[in-house]
Structure 1
Amino acid sequence: MTQIPDTMRFIDVSQPGGPEQMRIAQTGTPRQGGSEILIRVLAAGVNRPDIQQRKGAYPPPPGASPILGLEAAGEIVACGAQVTDFAVGDRVTALCNGGGYAEYVAVPATQCLPWPQGYDAIQAAALPENYFTVWANLFDIGRLKPEESLLVHGGTSGIGITAIQMARAQGSKVFATAGSAQKCAAVEKLGATAINYHEEDFAAVIADATLKNGVDVVLDMVGAPYTERNLRCLARGGRLVQVAFMQGSKVENLDLLSVMTKRLTIAGSTMRPRSAEDKGAIAKALRTCIWPLLEAGRFAPVIDSVFPLDQAAAAHALMESSAHIGKIVLNVAG
């Protein structure tokens, strides 16, 4: 049996601010509750909500670990008394409520999935946040069907790449925005039609490409500046699904007439505050519908960069630069 130490290394944020506020520190090793598992973390994904939390703008929900990190992959070292689906020694990837930037993390067992066959820790750690988010928003809320079309913004982000891959795997037509020739080429390689938002008006491109019919779903993370054009891009009965608002959440002087005349739906969600039961339902859907595709090699997470845990600040700086294509991962055990 693996000896669980009393203390562990983690990334501490001394005070809200820039990446320079992050440093390696020691704290007590968490203990799992009755429905939780304790994971020895081998790798952890880096996500934009981590940056917001580091800045003091995205506090963890009540009861969650204050340590950064919303996804981790590793080996189970202890199980709560109520856990029946996993055992000590299993390798899992987990959607964490917090605490991923550390050597150990306790996670509700319902929020965990086995590593897809053939995956290593880095690949497995790149899955949960994006895959849970995209499934919940694109398929549960957005109800994207195989014969329908999708516009996804931020096509080379972790969310964007995952949305393209999942939608293309089921046969949907996908358009995706990106901000450079290199990123547009990456989008095209994934099977989507790329739109360089620095050079083209994405709404005009969608109108031309769809003979003014529009797309069925828009998955947006930009927010207010795109809202009016997003609505113009939607077909009759279309759905705008908001997963973030990187450039603001308040829209001024928006004419909602098209929402009524085209019978549009505007929706959105956040993942972190959801209950363990809600997240568990998403995990089951991913296990049934997506994990077989990953194991068959139909698609895989795109990894941009891997940093050791003590270089988490550099990982955050890269994410804030938006120069990456795909996931940024911390190698915690390396």
Structure 2
Amino acid sequence: MTKAMRAVVLDAPGPPEALSVRAVSRPDARPGWILIQVEAFGLNRSELHFRRGLGSFGSFPRIPGIEAAGVVVDAPGCEFASGTQVAALMGGMGRDFDGGYAEYVCVPASSVIPFSSTVDWATLGAIPEMLQTAYGSLRTGVDAAPGSTLLIRGGTSSVGLALAILAKRRDMTVFATTRSTAKADALRRVGVDHVIIDTGEIANAVREIVPGGVDGAVELVGTPTLADTLRATRAHGTVCFTGMLSDEWTVRDFYPIEFIPNGVRLTAYSGEASDLPAPVLQEFIDAVASGEITVPIGKVYRMDEIVQAHRDMETGAVTGKLVVRTAGSSHH
């Protein structure tokens, strides 16, 4: 007999109300795939895009969710022992196959990263995708040197906050932007050195503090601010295009000689689980456990509050990472 589980299902693109929580059959593990009991999952703007039907990826009906944190139930290929704590992310989760918005998820072994911790599940659920994106943007994207200067364009997003935390651990001087003066304190709390109120043009404000421009920048707002972010960065400095908070993804009539200042490097980062080494995840979680790092969680929801959670993500009502805790309904 097929076992049932609760999951969030999206039958077709639509508003937050298009997400419905219902009983579906639990997936079965198969060789090369890992069955995970999901304890918590973070929400991501990528799922917002998917829910709205933006981008040419995925099929319906679908359980969304590009990440999850939980415990291994079954690994037919013996890649992980049952009971191992794991994070699962990317690799087609929530697009090509059912994702993390569920009590159980089955994912390719390549998308699974093991860890061990006594930190609470809501906190653990907030970390994987946020850390992978921030770490990859810093290391692969910017190739940031310890002690250098970094501009985070879109600083109060969950990835922006995680970037600030990682950069401060590398003794970097951090500039971060927000459009809202009310959110400036959220940036200072994670160690941002220079909070810049984003008017759309901030390059001059940055250069008043560092006349030559910053060594590196991570663009999280998208193409509307990219040219200005490039102008805030020094020659031989690097701007990494990572996020599209503005939902604007393309540069129209891209003319590189006009768009990119002389000698400034433009890179991009869109990562996979393989870009987050297990020791990096473990070190971050251990630093959370010891109190060195606070995970910037905005709010924790129950699974049946998924519609409200998506509304909050869409309107930007909550600063920090949004997390759903699965437990407390049909098991435990």
TM-score (norm 2): 0.88
Name the SS of the counterpart of 2:236 in structure 1. strand
Deviation at 1:113, TM superposition (A): 3.3
Whole-Å Cα distance in 2 between the matches of residues 261 and 268 of structure 1?
A: 17
Structure 1 position 236 matched with structure 2 position 235: yes
Whole-Å Cα distance in 1 between the matches of residues 62 and 243 of structure 2?
A: 21
Change (3 A) 1:22 1:65: closer
Name the SS of the counterpart of 1:240 in structure 2. strand
Name the SS of the counterpart of 1:205 in structure 2. helix
Whole-Å Cα distance in 1 between the matches of residues 294 and 2 of structure 2?
A: 34
Q: 2:276 matched to which residue of 1?
A: 282
Change (3 A) 1:128 1:58: farther
Whole-Å Cα distance in 2 between the matches of residues 188 and 207 of structure 1?
A: 20
Change (3 A) 1:255 1:289: farther
17, 21, 26: which one aligns with 1:20? 17
- CA-to-partner distance for each residue in 1:162-203, whole Å, 9 max, x for gaps? 0000001110111001122231111012111211214x8421
Q: 1:320 matched to which residue of 2?
A: 314
Whole-Å Cα distance in 2 between the matches of residues 320 and 101 of structure 1?
A: 17
Whole-Å Cα distance in 2 between the matches of residues 207 and 255 of structure 1?
A: 24
Is there any run of 5+ residues in structure 2 with no aligned partner, and where? none
Q: 1:81 matched to which residue of 2?
A: 77
Change (3 A) 1:44 1:59: farther
| Greater Cα offset, 256-265 or 159-168 | 256-265
Deviation at 1:221, TM superposition (A): 1.9
Change (3 A) 1:284 1:114: closer
Change (3 A) 1:65 1:43: farther
Deviation at 1:270, TM superposition (A): 2.2
Q: 2:113 matched to which residue of 1?
A: 113
TM-score (norm 1): 0.87
Q: 2:197 matched to which residue of 1?
A: 196
Asked if structure 2 preserves the Cα contact closer than 8 Å seen for 1:70 and 1:95, the reply is: yes
Partner amino acid for 1:66? R
Partner amino acid for 1:119? V
Whole-Å Cα distance in 1 between the matches of residues 87 and 108 of structure 2?
A: 12
Whole-Å Cα distance in 2 between the matches of residues 295 and 33 of structure 1?
A: 34
Change (3 A) 1:5 1:125: farther
Deviation at 1:32, TM superposition (A): 2.2
Asked if structure 2 preserves the Cα contact closer than 8 Å seen for 1:73 and 1:94, the reply is: yes
Deviation at 1:266, TM superposition (A): 1.1
Q: 1:173 matched to which residue of 2?
A: 173
Name the SS of the counterpart of 1:81 in structure 2. coil
Whole-Å Cα distance in 2 between the matches of residues 297 and 288 of structure 1?
A: 14
32, 51, 56: which one aligns with 2:48? 51
Asked if structure 1 preserves the Cα contact closer than 8 Å seen for 2:114 and 2:278, the reply is: no
CA RMSD in angstroms, aligned pairs only = 2.5
Change (3 A) 1:68 1:172: same
Name the SS of the counterpart of 2:13 in structure 1. coil
Name the SS of the counterpart of 2:298 in structure 1. strand
Partner amino acid for 2:299? S
Deviation at 1:285, TM superposition (A): 5.3
Asked if structure 2 preserves the Cα contact closer than 8 Å seen for 1:43 and 1:330, the reply is: yes
Q: 1:186 matched to which residue of 2?
A: 186
Q: 2:144 matched to which residue of 1?
A: 144
Asked if structure 2 preserves the Cα contact closer than 8 Å seen for 1:43 and 1:121, the reply is: yes
Whole-Å Cα distance in 2 between the matches of residues 27 and 53 of structure 1?
A: 20
Change (3 A) 1:65 1:126: farther
Q: 2:68 matched to which residue of 1?
A: 72
Partner amino acid for 1:236? A
| Greater Cα offset, 283-292 or 234-243 | 283-292
Whole-Å Cα distance in 1 between the matches of residues 45 and 281 of structure 2?
A: 25
Asked if structure 2 preserves the Cα contact closer than 8 Å seen for 1:306 and 1:329, the reply is: yes
Change (3 A) 1:108 1:17: same
Change (3 A) 1:230 1:285: farther
Structure 1 position 36 matched with structure 2 position 33: yes
Q: 2:288 matched to which residue of 1?
A: 294
Deviating 4+ runs (over 6 angstroms): 258-261
Q: 1:223 matched to which residue of 2?
A: 222
Deviation at 1:132, TM superposition (A): 0.9
Deviation at 1:205, TM superposition (A): 1.3
Partner amino acid for 2:77? A
314, 322, 325: which one aligns with 1:331? 325
Q: 1:305 matched to which residue of 2?
A: 299
Change (3 A) 1:289 1:139: farther
Change (3 A) 1:52 1:148: same
Whole-Å Cα distance in 2 between the matches of residues 65 and 329 of structure 1?
A: 23
Q: How does 1:148-163 map to 2 (within 5 A)?
A: 148-163=148-163
- CA-to-partner distance for each residue in 1:190-225, whole Å, 9 max, x for gaps? 111211214x84212101010x21111111122222
Asked if structure 2 preserves the Cα contact closer than 8 Å seen for 1:31 and 1:106, the reply is: yes
Asked if structure 2 preserves the Cα contact closer than 8 Å seen for 1:228 and 1:254, the reply is: no
| Greater Cα offset, 281-290 or 74-83 | 281-290
| Greater Cα offset, 21-30 or 244-253 | 244-253
Partner amino acid for 1:229? D
Partner amino acid for 1:232? R
Is there any run of 5+ residues in structure 1 with no aligned partner, and where? none
